[in-house]
Amino acid sequence: MSRSRLVCFGSHTASHPILTTLTDEQIQNELQNSMDELIRHKVIGTDFISFCYPNGTFSESLSEMVREVGYHLAVTTAARWQALAGTVAVSKQEVDVQVAGAEARKAELEVAAQNVARYAALEAFKRVVAPFDGVVTARLTDVGSYVNAAGGDVSARGSSTELFTVADVHEMRVFVSVPQGDADRLGPGLTATIHLPSQPGKLIEAKFLTTARAFSPTTRTAVTELTVDNSNHALWPGTYVEVQFQVPSDPNVLTMPEEALIFRAAGTQVAIVDPANRVHLHDVTLGQNLGQMVQVTSGIVAGDRLVNNPPAGLLEAQSVQPVTPVPGYATASQRKSEQPEPPPIPGPASADGRAVTP
């Protein structure tokens, strides 16, 4: 019949599987076995051999394999019916039915492929692999414990729980709550020193990373992140530390003792002693309050002599007699040197009773 050219016989694989779901070796066997069987029974010759894809599903790589095996023509059922459309051999309804059937089978194949991928992903979870190098800081399961998959399966009931907590300790992040009054000093290039309460005297350098740029309404602090090189694993995750920032100071900003300020109705003033030992009250503009010292942005110059702890009745042009502090009287600078350095952001220091630059 094939020799009469009235009927054309072709191959349709040996066991009619969906070829797109098989491996390359399995596809090769199906194509070759089907061709050999037809040639052995002399159903077709070797001059022209056609092939029809089972279920009408194929891909570019599959078409290339069909060509390599020796098939001269590869078609799908829907394609054949579409080729006959418009002729007296088939009706339009039959063509539409075949095309719709091919689309439905293609959709079923995609659903099956998604299910296969889903089960393959579930199988892969049998072996838990950390996404990065680090240390396990918490293990919330044990050998023989039931692992609930509700977190990844919408059809399951219950809630999933984590199995392990892994931390990358090569570079640590330190979170610091900086008060609102010091937040304007935060920025790139800022460095800090970390103190471990359990290891006094050991200092660890840290670098500024970023800040939240927002204040907590309860504490009025901004969360700031610092990075620390922890290649020696000296810091453990969750460690409490004390942080001291190294803030570069402005050499043009003067500082003076806070107790030398005079607060009156005219505003904030200081009492300056001229070379004739007469007092002159000058209005000043204050900057940052550094605790015992305060920054002055205008009103005095470096080298001015100030009255420390001025009395309330001090008057303009009043004559005073500077004296040397008696033994046992601690000046502001002496009191400051006797106290340990505070952990917050430090400021520049100055001598007692005199305006100086940092």
Asked if residue 213 has pLDDT above 80, the reply is: yes
Between 30-39, 72-81, 201-210, the lowest mean confidence (pLDDT) is in: 72-81
The least confident of 95-109, 174-188, 228-242, 343-357 is 343-357
Residues 200, 264 within the same domain: no
**pLDDT at position 353:** 45
* pLDDT range class, residue 331, cuts 50, 70, 90: low
Examine the pLDDT at 138 and tell me if it is beyond 80: yes
pLDDT of residue 229: 92
Could you tell me if 264 and 329 lie in one domain? yes
Choose the weakest-confidence range: 43-57, 145-159, 337-351. 337-351
Identify the pLDDT of residue 49.
Answer: 65
Answer yes or no: is 25 within a domain: no
- Range of the structural domain that residue 148 is part of: 133-167
Three state DSSP letters for the chain: CCCCCCCCCEECCCCCCCHHHCCHHHHHHHHHHHHHHHHHCCCCCCCCCEEECHHHCCCHHHHHHHHHHCCCEEECHHHHHHHHCCCCCCCHHHHHHHHHHHHHHHHHHHHHHHHHHHHHHHHHCCCCCCCCCCEEEEECCCCCCCCCCCCCCCCCCCCCCCCEEEECCCEEEEEEEEEHHHHHHCCCCCEEEEEECCEEEEEEEEEEEEECCCCCCCCCEEEEEEEEECCCCCCCCCCCCEEEEECCCCCCCEEEEHHHEEEECCEEEEEEECCCCEEEEEECEEEEECCCEEEEEECCCCCCEECCCCCCCCCCCCECCCCCCCCCCCCHHHHHHHCCCCCCCCCCCCCCCECECC
Q: Clarify whether residues 184 and 152 are in a common domain.
A: no
258 and 230 fall within a common domain: no
Q: What number is the average pLDDT over the span 91-112?
A: 72
Question: What's the pLDDT tens digit per position in 301-321?
Answer: 888 888 888 888 888 888 888
* Residue 263 within any structural domain of the chain: yes
- Tens of pLDDT along 151-207? 444 455 556 677 888 888 889 999 999 988 888 888 888 899 999 888 888 889 999
Verify that 281 and 334 share a domain, yes or no: yes
340 has a pLDDT exceeding 60: no
Rounded mean pLDDT, 1-12? 57
What's the CATH number where 278 sits?
Answer: 2.40.420.20
- Whether residue 309 lies inside any domain: the answer is yes
Check residue 206 and give its pLDDT.
92
pLDDT digits (tens, 9 = 90+) for 235-289: 888 889 999 888 777 777 888 888 889 888 888 989 999 988 898 988 998 887 8
* pLDDT score for 3: 54
Comparing 296 with 81, the larger pLDDT belongs to: 296
353 falls within a domain: no
Residue 210 or 7, more confident: 210
Which of 86-95, 98-107, 315-324, 335-344 has the weakest average pLDDT? 335-344
Task: Report yes or no on 267 lying in a domain.
Answer: yes
Q: Are residues 235 and 201 in the same domain?
A: yes
